[in-house]
Amino acid sequence: MNWKERIVSDKNVLMGKPIIKGTRISIEFILDRLANGWSEEMILQSYPLLTKEDLLAVYSYLNDLVKDGLVYEIRAKAL
């Protein structure tokens, strides 16, 4: 999956946050829905401009971020 075909960033749209191309739906918004228990099916039904391929692009984008070290170590707080 080449996420660069589906995810773009434009400083004039949502202050440059990465979005799904052709929409104003940010990657952050999609991740927030998933983190709050939404299924892919729920997202696709609620936002008909999105496709399954868009969601796969989000996962691929995140995978590249992790590989490139753009996600940092999370340290557990001492109890």
Q: Does the pLDDT value for residue 77 go beyond 80?
A: no
The whole-number pLDDT of residue 1 equals 81
For the purposes of burial, counting CB atoms within 10 Å of the CB of 61, is it exposed (0-12), middle (13-18) or buried (19 or more)? middle
Please give the Cα distance from 29 to 32 (Å, whole number): 5
Give 68's pLDDT tier (boundaries 50, 70, 90).
Answer: confident
Please give the Cα distance from 26 to 49 (Å, whole number): 12
Q: For 5-62, what is each residue's pLDDT tens digit?
A: 999 999 999 999 999 999 999 999 999 999 999 999 999 999 999 999 999 999 999 9
Please give the Cα distance from 31 to 16 (Å, whole number): 17
Q: Say if strands 19-20 and 7-8 run parallel, antiparallel, or are unpaired.
A: antiparallel
